[in-house]
Amino acid sequence: MKILKTTLAAITAAAVVGLAGSAHAGVTLDAIQKKGFIQCGVSDGLPGFGVPDSTGKMTGIDVDVCHAVAAAVFGDASKVKFSQLTAKERFTALQSGEIDLISRNTTWTSSRDAGMGLVFTGVTYYDGIGFLVNSKLGVTGAKQLDGATVCIQAGTTTELNVSDYFRTNGMKYTPITFDTADESAKGLEAGRCDVLTTDQSGLYAQRIKMAHPDEFVVLPEVISKEPLGPLVRKGDDEWFSIVKWTLFAMLNAEEMGITSQNVEEQAKSTQNPDVARLLGADGDYGKDLKLRKDWVVQIVKQVGNYDEVFERNIGQGSVLKIKRGLNALWSNGGIQYAPPVR
């Protein structure tokens, strides 16, 4: 009898846990719908990714991901508020519930994905750590940086990756850490260090903000893998899926030639079954995500497909003029790839 009671108690406990998990499944989306906007954590000031323009409006590829999620959830890309966060602040802000997601040049690693109660939803931008130096230093490659002083932003993957690189190549360096990306760049500009290191995209972004950008050179070496993408709190599968499929929708739209200019016409007249499913003309795949039927139409119409977002923020339509490279679609020589909506 004692064994039976123990077994029943175990089954009851398991059922309670299961019900609790089920009840928790939509807590983030419910809270967002009640307050009427998404609170999105973005960079503390990185051109092309997350930075205020002259009017104070946030702009950048990471910012546009937040707008795209708002378009999917509300049908209105403007229903988002931004929290500018340093590298040190970002994870605590998400863990505490201060923000609903992070869309801020943050590298996907095993420890962040498995040990912090957070989970990445995809890759917005494939990057890698590089080095920026003053041309007067006379350095043309990273292997010539033995003995250099290095400006690094604290609380980033850059610290460990740079340490690994110098140790592996038998070189010494002196790190000088700063709390923000801007402070790190100003350290190089003021001559406090020989080299600035961060993601290569960040180096190009910081370089254009300098008083004399032509005096500084990005070295050719890329010393790490830095897949940058949005992340949310672990345990809310519903919200995780919405953020994940928002990015996938933008990539699929680009692949199918759907743009902000033609998306409404495509939704009405397409004869392509894949396009019809993506845009809600055939089936209702938004229902599975608890989104409106035309959720992808709203994303692309109001924010754009992945190519449009990339080009205006960091590509050829921007001051950065970064080439697509690895961030081109898989069908164009890159590694950006999205599962189908079907």
pTM assigned to the model: 0.86
The DSSP output letter for 224 is S
42-78: pLDDT as tens digits: 999 899 999 999 999 999 999 999 999 999 999 999 9
Say if CB 248 and CB 341 are below 8 A apart.
Answer: yes
Kindly tell me the sign of the dihedral angle through the C-alpha atoms of 239, 266, 332, 341.
Answer: positive
Q: How far is residue 233's CA from residue 118's CA, in Å, rounded to a whole number?
A: 4
Say if CB 100 and CB 38 are below 8 A apart.
Answer: yes
pLDDT reported for residue 16: 34
Higher pLDDT, 328 or 26: 328
Q: Dig out the tokens for 118 from the structure.
A: 């957070």
Q: What values do phi and psi take at 306, rounded to 5?
A: -60, -40
pLDDT band at 155 (very low <50, low <70, confident <90, very high): confident
Q: How far is residue 317's CA from residue 313's CA, in Å, rounded to a whole number?
A: 7
Pick the CATH number of 27-126+228-322 from 3.40.190.10, 3.40.1160.10, 3.40.50.300, 3.10.20.30: 3.40.190.10
The DSSP output letter for 107 is B
Tokens 């449009």 belong to 308
pLDDT reported for residue 293: 96
- Architecture field, domain 129-224: 3-Layer(aba) Sandwich (3.40)
pLDDT reported for residue 181: 87
Say if CB 245 and CB 238 are below 8 A apart.
Answer: no
- Residues spanned by CATH 3.40.190.10 within the chain? 27-126+228-322, 129-224
- Tell me how crowded residue 186 is: count the other CB atoms within 10 A of its CB: 17
When pLDDT is averaged across residues 93-106 and rounded to a whole number, the result is 97
The beta strand positions in the chain, using DSSP E, are 38-43, 51-52, 58-59, 80-85, 101-102, 118-120, 125-127, 129-134, 148-153, 173-178, 195-199, 216-218, 226-228, 231-233
Q: How far is residue 22's CA from residue 25's CA, in Å, rounded to a whole number?
A: 5
Which residues pair with residue 150 across a beta bridge? 175, 195
